[in-house]
Chain A
């Protein structure tokens, strides 16, 4: 009905629409009177009277009337909620509302109605008659004396009309669909998870028997299909969330004296129910923002040569394993200077840093906590909690938020949400012999330190451990001591540092060991264990072992990790998704810059130069029993002393892994192809990064090792593929 009312505002003359609304209100009135809910009945009656005038053309729907009707709808809905909870209507004074509706009826009835005065008074009579009758029935309530039987018949006929109309459209859906309890779906999902585990165990055991292998493979396929089917059952179209926006947009626009047209696309796009719930608030906030900050006042729009009515576009579509929801407006766009000034004023960023940032990078600042450009705190927005919450909520479910804005043209906010929440990619880390799952979303890179490197490279400041990562100090949190598994670091063992970014807080989590990444099924913890605060859930690993899921944000809070405000490397990465540029890892060798595409980078290691060995004139690195072909600059290796260290960027070239030895790794930047002067042809292996012409390392030119029997396969499987590129 809400939808109808907002539509009515657009097409005030639509008789069918009016009739539909009228019927709904009338049905409410009839049934509530019958059931003895007098509050509902009298409200519905007042609304019906007003609607009756509208339908008969005595009144024309204007904004005032629609507002009144919407307000009525809210009250009705409130009472219904109370009834649902308690079975009673609850107390409340509706006189004001009823009076408002009556004033609307009379106040505006004069002028537009005069023109229609001549319009068949007979018709009016006919329509009003059954209304009076239904009123009579409801007064008599459930008693239903024999005298009123005739009138009952009348109402039944009257009500039959909408019911058949609705039934007709619903009939097809009803035949092929079924309402299912979400609990049942969750249970099914669990059982499927169980089946997957059992399957994994069976698959590990059947290798000997050929018949069993065939059978188990079929089991494997059926299980996979079943899992997919159950997951699909949990999907809901985004229209469930979208449907409330027409009303919200209308109310907001009116409140702010703006004119906004809402366009919604892709409402049929489906998303896991729990995810849909999780992004609801973020989406609402984004829409509010777009209307409050994005779309300008009608006069300003006209001066800028735009339609006085702004357009807000909500668009949902699937892209690979993600659903993208776009909130775009054709408003004034984000004013980069203002964002910068505000960020400086609120001390979210230093002046030096601000000077270095590009426009795109500056736009990302709006996601910092405490950021707001609104001059005054309004009812709508400007309380300083905003975009950071949007981002946090979306990131919590493994999604990403991107923003794109052009001055004078408008702003597009893109929420990128994974298709399902139930399954999350995670890295399994080990601490003190116990496995823990670390969600990949927060993981940026992994650093391996041998016992020797721990002594040399881990720096201590009054008991606080730090690690110098590309020249910056990274605070370290020891998982073992955080979980009170042991007092301090065992000096002999090697460790891994998982570099995490939890909602802008960067730190390194030190763990004893790593196992392979896994797609884990998240199970909730009981409330007692939730109170510990460091675990977001638990999961069962492929080997049947249980693992607690670490919450990177909670760990950061517990360890007092602050915001790394100046280090918005990940945001830079997010910013450049759309314009065909590629992300590169920028490296420095002597005075020369070099770059490799970021999505090819597996991990970055710092190792002593002495570890580099030569094989037939070719530099290689040995890791346990695997060899890594290396690209080392001719001029640099001559100058190297044995104590010096080099940085090796391990990259993926097709299936093999290769290393690029450099002095430093500088940053991540995006580059566009450069064209040779006078041509349109992009120059090969050269790009423009941070205003420096940079050569791109051609990984395939690194010579392959002499092969015996597909040695690259060995390399590929023994190397743990740590996805630095996962952040893109």
Chain B
């Protein structure tokens, strides 16, 4: 799956490469260009007293990576299975995003994009960038910038 990421480089100019990840039944998409690395089910260490959306610490290339749990951000029940981690570059160094599973790489067209529906609750509106209409389902767009723990800490205190 990870090797698939590097294979698909030459696509039509307007097509965007998305890495799709699954949380529960929903499919989310993250632009591939933003992902530094995908860590397959590493051991993570919980941090006592940390904000709820912090998923724990993960050892990453000699550094300590702070991870954000998308499940707790969406106020979903935590599950105990090991999770995959997407690594992003944030304001304050790298951070990781915990997802149930990394699915596949797909290409989407800008024409398929639509913004967040107005009926979506505020919490989700703040996290999602919009959605791509795939043939048979929706791909909810995640914006790594909005998931940066520094940013989340700001919005939590505000």
Please, could you name 7 A-B residue pairs with CB atoms under 8 Å apart, sorted by A? A434-B45, A523-B62, A528-B50, A528-B152, A537-B64, A538-B45, A544-B43
With contacts A531-B153, A538-B57, A540-B59 known, is A524 near B49, CB below 8 A? no
Q: Are A529 and B62 in contact (CB under 8 A)?
A: no
With contacts A434-B45, A538-B57 known, is A532 near B95, CB below 8 A? no
Q: Are A528 and B63 in contact (CB under 8 A)?
A: no
Q: Are B48 and A485 in contact (CB under 8 A)?
A: yes
Interface string of A187-198 (1 = CB under 8 A from B): 100110110000
Please name all residues of chain A whose beta carbon is closer than 8 Å to the beta carbon of B61 when the two chains form the complex: 190-191, 194
Please name all residues of chain B whose beta carbon is closer than 8 Å to the beta carbon of A483 when the two chains form the complex: 48-49
Q: A residues 473-506 with Cβ under 8 Å of B? A: 483-485
Q: Are B48 and A526 in contact (CB under 8 A)?
A: no
Does A547 belong to the interface (CB within 8 Å)?
yes
CA gap between A464 and B49 in the complex, in Å: 21
Does B51 belong to the interface (CB within 8 Å)?
yes
Min distance, Cβ B8 to any Cβ of chain A, angstroms: 30
CA gap between A538 and B92 in the complex, in Å: 16
Q: Are A525 and B153 in contact (CB under 8 A)?
A: no
With contacts A526-B66, A529-B66, A534-B49 known, is A544 near B54, CB below 8 A? no
With contacts A194-B61, A538-B57 known, is A528 near B43, CB below 8 A? no
Min distance, Cβ B142 to any Cβ of chain A, angstroms: 19
- What count of chain B residues pass the 8 Å CB interface test? 25
Min distance, Cβ A477 to any Cβ of chain B, angstroms: 14
Q: Are B149 and A526 in contact (CB under 8 A)?
A: yes
Min distance, Cβ B109 to any Cβ of chain A, angstroms: 36
Q: Are B63 and A548 in contact (CB under 8 A)?
A: no
Which B positions have Cβ atoms within 8 angstroms of A? 43-51, 54, 57-59, 61-64, 66, 92-93, 95, 149-150, 152-153
With contacts A484-B49, A532-B49 known, is A527 near B57, CB below 8 A? no
Please name all residues of chain A whose beta carbon is closer than 8 Å to the beta carbon of B93 when the two chains form the complex: 526
Interface residue range, chain A: 20 to 34
In chain A, what residue has the closest Cβ to B95? Answer: A526
CA gap between A546 and B61 in the complex, in Å: 13
CA gap between A14 and B109 in the complex, in Å: 77
Q: Are A523 and B64 in contact (CB under 8 A)?
A: yes
Q: Are A523 and B149 in contact (CB under 8 A)?
A: no
With contacts A484-B49, A547-B45 known, is A528 near B62, CB below 8 A? no
Which residue, A523, A529, A532, has most C-beta atoms of chain B within 10 A?
A529
Q: Which of A191, A524, A532 contacts B50 (CB 8 A)?
A: A532
CA gap between A433 and B101 in the complex, in Å: 27
If A528-B92, A534-B49, A538-B64 are given as contacts, then 16 extra A-B residue pairs at C-beta distance below 8 Å, sorted by A number, are A190-B62, A190-B63, A191-B62, A483-B49, A523-B64, A526-B64, A526-B93, A528-B54, A528-B150, A528-B152, A531-B153, A532-B47, A535-B47, A538-B45, A546-B57, A546-B59
Does A545 belong to the interface (CB within 8 Å)?
yes
Min distance, Cβ A575 to any Cβ of chain B, angstroms: 38
In chain A, what residue has the closest Cβ to B67? Answer: A526
Please name all residues of chain B whose beta carbon is closer than 8 Å to the beta carbon of A484 when the two chains form the complex: 48-49
Q: Are A529 and B47 in contact (CB under 8 A)?
A: yes
CA gap between A485 and B152 in the complex, in Å: 24
Min distance, Cβ A201 to any Cβ of chain B, angstroms: 12
Interface string of A271-310 (1 = CB under 8 A from B): 0000000000000000000000000000000000000000
CA gap between A544 and B42 in the complex, in Å: 11
CA gap between A527 and B148 in the complex, in Å: 11
Q: Are A524 and B153 in contact (CB under 8 A)?
A: no
CA gap between A187 and B94 in the complex, in Å: 14
Please name all residues of chain B whose beta carbon is closer than 8 Å to the beta carbon of A537 when the two chains form the complex: 64
Please name all residues of chain B whose beta carbon is closer than 8 Å to the beta carbon of A548 when the two chains form the complex: 45, 47-48, 57
Min distance, Cβ A637 to any Cβ of chain B, angstroms: 46
In chain A, what residue has the closest Cβ to B91? Answer: A527
CA gap between A534 and B150 in the complex, in Å: 18
CA gap between A537 and B150 in the complex, in Å: 17
Interface string of A536-559 (1 = CB under 8 A from B): 011010001111100000000000
CA gap between A534 and B95 in the complex, in Å: 21
Q: Are B45 and A546 in contact (CB under 8 A)?
A: yes
Please name all residues of chain A whose beta carbon is closer than 8 Å to the beta carbon of B62 when the two chains form the complex: 187, 190-191, 193-194, 523
Min distance, Cβ A51 to any Cβ of chain B, angstroms: 48
For the complex of A and B, 5 pairs with smallest distance between CB atoms: A190-B62, A483-B48, A546-B45, A526-B66, A538-B64
